[in-house]
A and B are shown apart, each in its own frame.
Chain A
């Protein structure tokens, strides 16, 4: 993407970002734009650092090079208190839900409100019940997190993420490990919340169908680079073999089925000495 182009309408801009863990380069000079009001998906195989990208955007990790701006502010140059103020306007849905296990559902959703606002208990109650109603779990308010199914936990976490009426939500693998019904309800929720609350959504996922169904724009990342981008339609027709393999789930292709190893026959006939 050309950096000189100004993106008037983007809420998050990632510019020339590089990040490594140990010797492994997770991102190698990538740039991307997240448009306001849209659902942008970031796709790629497991272990390509999609979650890392969300943590970089949230300011929990620091990039080696490049910058990330959210709503015009450079996340990694903010003072701590400003970063915390910015985070109040960003919701994040963790893969595990990250519900606080020592509180029930109601208190979990009320947590950000109690921490950041001085609302009365009765107003908090009203707000919490509204958020729970939005995710369809108002009846589950007295359950503890360990009594929830995975899909319910994620919906509760979603209710908590929208408790402070953020401007954007980051979804970390929202569909992984969900049964078809919960997947369906999450797809529906993400889409409808984005539209009714006027949110901007960033979704990290490797579930092709669900993501393609609701995303407005998709970036496909592999080995630290962006290998494809466009609307779901454009991605489907991408000329890149790699993107094709990813979207169709073919076992062999540019990504090989076999982990690199020496020749199979040689390996079988060798003495089996440790090397």
Chain B
């Protein structure tokens, strides 16, 4: 029993220390953003490797999620004779929920893990330390541009995911199952609210982008500089990001659509 309590105490303390380091790291990263804005080249490079190179996985996943939504939605809605509402259903699910959440999960797996491994290995090979000795602040030069790029890429990728998904739903719905194409689009236009649905979805993906980039960069920066340490940090990035995304999604959904 005593041992259990000791363990509990120690683990709690370690988690809180880590949270403290993480917060400090986040503040440093955010304050480094100013110097990134002075050198947009750094940001553009990172937007390319974090955002643009995630296009393929986001597009393909978006297409399939949209197609499945089209199929499942059609079978449920057709029981009530409401096939025309398929467009609304597909779009609302994507824009409010699946777009931001699935994109964030894919982003954590594709870009987040890559960021952690990159930063962790830079630490293990003394590149970060070397930079410090060259009087270059690695937070400003390496971390902040990546953070800003991740943070800006996420809403764009989520928008892409939702858009492709809606097209996928339409391909299945009106292409395969015979829902009227005009109804698909016009119902969607009439019922999807810009403020309630789209803006809220964008807010979600901004929050996810912030948290996922923070976790990925901090885990890399805080990794034990050995191959084992980097591999563990990469795992933690994916697991912690997934938990944070799903937990925050619940909280945000309650706040946004609760009343």
Q: What's the Cα separation between A91 and B134 when bound, in Å?
A: 7
A87–B130 Cα gap in the complex (Å)?
11
Q: Which residues of B contact A101 (CB under 8 A)?
A: 122, 125, 127
The reply to whether the CB of B132 lies closer than 8 angstroms to some CB of chain A is: yes
**CA distance in complex: A101, B122 (Å):** 8
Please determine whether B126 and A60 come into contact, CB atoms closer than 8 angstroms. Answer: no
Given contacts A96-B125, A101-B125, A101-B127, contact A115 B136 (CB under 8 A): yes
By secondary structure, the B interface counts as helix
Flag if B136 contacts A100 (CB, 8 Å): no
| Chain B contacts with A in 109-167, Cβ cutoff 8 A | 122, 125-127, 129-137, 141
Q: Please tell me which one of the listed residues A87, A96, A111, A116 contacts residue B133 in the complex, with CB atoms under 8 A apart.
A: A87
Residues of A within 8 A of B131 (CB): 100
Residues A94 and B130 in contact, CB atoms below 8 Å apart: yes
Cα distance, A228 to B196, chains bound together (Å): 76
- What is the distance, in angstroms, from A86's C-beta to the closest C-beta of chain B? 8
Closest chain-B Cβ to A76's Cβ sits at a distance in Å of 15
Measured CA separation A98–B137 after assembly (Å): 15
Check A37 for interface membership: any CB of B closer than 8 A: no
Whether the Cβ atoms of A88 and B130 lie closer than 8 Å is no
A87-B138 Cα distance, complex, nearest whole Å = 14
Chain A, 54-86, CB within 8 A of any chain B CB: 55, 58, 60, 84-85
Whether B125 and A84, one on each chain, are in contact in the complex, defined by CB atoms closer than 8 angstroms, is no
The verdict on A60 contacting B125 (CB below 8 Å), with A84-B137, A115-B141 known, is no
Q: Decide yes or no whether A43 CB sits under 8 A from chain B.
A: no
The interface residues of chain B lying within 8 Å CB-to-CB of A92 are 130, 133
Interface size class of A (residues with CB under 8 A): 20 to 34
Check if A112 is an interface residue, CB within 8 A of chain B: yes
Evaluate contact between A96 and B135: CB separation under 8 angstroms.
no
For chain A, residues 119 to 157, give those with C-beta under 8 angstroms from any C-beta of chain B.
none
Q: Which of B127, B130, B135, B141 contacts A84 (CB 8 A)?
A: B135
Checking A60, A84, A99, A164 against B129 with a beta-carbon cut-off of 8 angstroms, the contacting residue is: A60
Are B126 and A96 neighbours in the complex by a CB distance under 8 Å? yes
Question: In chain A, what residue has the closest Cβ to B124?
Answer: A96
Interface residue from A55, A95, A96, A112 paired with B134 (Cβ < 8 Å): A112
The DSSP consensus for interface residues of chain A is mixed
CA distance A94 to B129 in the complex (A): 9
Is there an interface contact between B134 and A94, defined as CB atoms closer than 8 Å?
A: no
B127 partner residues in chain A, CB cutoff 8 A: 98-101
Q: Give every chain B residue within 8 A of A84 (Cβ-Cβ).
A: 135, 137
The minimal Cβ–Cβ distance linking B164 to chain A, given in whole angstroms, is 31
Query: Is B130 a contact partner of A98 (Cβ separation < 8 A)?
Result: yes
Q: Are A60 and B133 closer than 8 Å at their CB atoms?
A: yes
Closest to A100 in B: B127
Is the CB–CB distance between B134 and A111 below 8 Å? yes
**Complex CA–CA separation, A88 to B120 (angstroms):** 25
A235 within 8 A of B: no
Contact of B125 with A112 in the complex, beta carbons under 8 Å:
no
Q: Is residue A90 contacting chain B, with contact meaning CB distance below 8 A?
A: yes
Task: Tell me, rounded to whole Å, the shortest Cβ–Cβ distance linking B41 to chain A.
Answer: 11
Nearest Cβ on chain A to B27's Cβ, whole angstroms:
15
For the complex formed, measure the closest distance between the CB of B228 and the CB atoms of chain A, giving whole angstroms: 18
From A172, which residue of chain B is reached at the shortest CB distance?
A: B126
The answer for the CA separation of A38 and B202 in the assembled complex, in Å, is 62
B129 touches A98 (CB 8 A): yes
A90 to B135, CA, bound (A): 9
How long is the Cα–Cα vector from A111 to B141 in the complex, in angstroms? 11
B136 touches which one: A55, A58, A91, A112 (CB < 8 A)? A112
Sort A-B residue pairs by CB-CB distance and give the 8 closest, nearest first.
Answer: A98-B130, A87-B135, A98-B126, A84-B135, A92-B133, A88-B135, A94-B126, A112-B134
Given contacts A94-B129, A116-B135, 12 further A-B contacts (CB under 8 A): A55-B129, A58-B132, A60-B129, A60-B133, A94-B126, A96-B126, A98-B129, A100-B127, A100-B130, A111-B134, A112-B136, A116-B136
Give the A-binding residues of B (Cβ under 8 A).
122, 125-127, 129-137, 141
Show the binding face of A for B, using Cβ within 8 Å. 55, 58, 60, 84-85, 87-88, 90-92, 94-96, 98-101, 111-112, 115-116, 160, 164
Q: What are 6 contact pairs spanning A and B, CB under 8 A?
A: A55-B129, A90-B133, A91-B133, A111-B134, A115-B135, A116-B136
